[in-house]
Amino acid sequence: MSSTPLLSTGSTPEEQELARQGQAIRSVYVYEAPVRIWHWVNVFCIVTLCVTGYFIGSPLPTLPGEPSDHFLMGYIRFAHFTSGYVMAIALLGRIYWGFVGNHHAREMFSIPLHRKEYWTELLGMIKWYAFLSKRPGRYVGHNPLARAGMLLGFFVCGLFMICTGFALYGEGAGHGSWANTLFSSWVIPLFGQSQDVHTWHHFGMWAMIIFIIVHIYAAVREDIMGRQSIISTMVSGYRTFKD
Ligand code: HEM
Ligand code: HEM
């Protein structure tokens, strides 16, 4: 932290004392650049996928004129498939970083379910979020509830969307395409038929939207009530603890 003294002009002695105390606050480097870049690329892809996916499922009214002149659904589907590719490749990169990054980079993938303390702390966090108790403690990385939520809501759900999405994509790409061989060949029989995969892929979108709403609420709430930086930590990488 910078130790530059506060200039006295325009600030009272009390404010200067508060600023000096602020200079003693320590920040911890938590999220490395690849985790942060992945987070925001992923946000961009998922928002694009939700908007374009919604219009694939509920298409806009037919436009007048030659379809090839405006190509509206074509652009919507193109944006969907491009973001789908970027999301899948970025997730592979994030999994790689889970192996080579710092230990906070692994928190989303490895949950210590076998440890009693994990369950006690998880319950403590649930009570805190439900306004039933004081904050049980502060965490440098993700808290126990965030870890479970991110694993299920974003990692497992994200994988589900990628598998079902590429299964549908492989149908269009045709037999012999990599997507058809790797995904359509087992995903479509697993769900029954193509329309079932569409329906589950569509449900998956709403499940993710619910997780995203809860996630943003929790991040903003914790930023205000948790006495520590949360949102800026996903931008700068540093967690700052207040008093
Ligand atoms: C499509 C929307 C979003 C998705 C899918 C998403 C997904 C995720 C995931 C997977 C993580 C875990 C990161 C890791 O360990 O690698 C995470 C963390 C985080 N996200 Fe998001 N996120 C979304 C939107 C947002 C937005 C809009 C904000 C800001 C308001 C935000 C703030 C954060 C913060 C602060 C963390 C770190 C929480 C902590 O320190 O424990 N996210 N998010
Ligand atoms: C968060 C991720 C995703 C969301 C929210 C999402 C959402 C949607 C939705 C709502 C639909 C319409 C389903 C229907 O009612 O028929 C759809 C269709 C589709 N999605 Fe996704 N999707 C995601 C990821 C992916 C990925 C990774 C791919 C892979 C390329 C993909 C490929 C497709 C394909 C091929 C279709 C069918 C297009 C058509 O029938 O014209 N999606 N998606």
pLDDT tens digits, one per residue of 112-159 = 999 999 999 999 999 999 999 988 888 899 999 999 999 999 999 999
Judge if the beta carbon of residue 165 lies within 6 A of ligand 2.
yes
Examine the pLDDT at 10 and tell me if it is beyond 70.
no
At residue 6, does pLDDT exceed 60?
A: no
Residue nearest to atom 16 of ligand 1 (CA): 35
* Whole-number pLDDT of residue 211: 97
Residue 241 backbone phi and psi in degrees, to 5: -100, 130
Alpha carbon of 8 to ligand 1 centroid (Å) = 39
Residue type, 232: S
3-state DSSP assignment of residue 8: coil
CA distances from 47 to 51, 84, 122, 231, 234 (A): 6, 11, 29, 18, 18
Nearest Cα residue to 34 out of 99, 102, 97 = 97
The predicted model scores a pTM of 0.90
Mutational pocket test of ligand 1: of 28, 43, 135, the residue with most ligand atoms within 8 Å of the beta carbon: 43
Alpha-carbon distance 78 to 72, whole Å? 10
CB atoms within 10 A of CB 105: 21
Q: Which ligand is nearest to the CA of 55?
A: 2
Place of tokens 């403590």: 124
Residues 163-172 have pLDDT tens digits of 999 999 999 9
Q: What is the pLDDT of residue 63?
A: 82
Which ligand 2 atom minimizes the distance to the CA of 172? 35
pLDDT of residue 3: 45
What is the reported pLDDT for 18?
A: 67
Q: What is the pLDDT of residue 2?
A: 44
Residue 235 has pLDDT above 80, yes or no: yes
What's the whole-number mean pLDDT along residues 13-40? 82
- Is 76 close to ligand 2, i.e. is its CB under 6 Å away? no
Rg (CA), the chain: 23
How far apart (Å, rounded) are the C-alpha atoms in residues 190 and 48?
A: 27
Strand, coil or helix: 142: coil
The pLDDT of 206-219, averaged and rounded, is 97
Ligand whose nearest atom lies closest to the CA of 234:
1
> Tokens for 98?
């889970």
CB atoms within 10 A of CB 31: 23
CB of 218 within 6 A of ligand 1: the answer is no
Is residue 197 in contact with ligand 2, taking CB distance under 6 Å?
no
**Is 46 a pocket residue for ligand 1 (Cβ < 6 Å)?**
yes
Tokens matching residue 27 = 């920040």
Residue 31 has pLDDT above 80, yes or no: yes
> Which residue of 30, 39, 151, 160 sits with most ligand 1 atoms within 8 Å of its CB, as the best mutation to test the pocket?
39
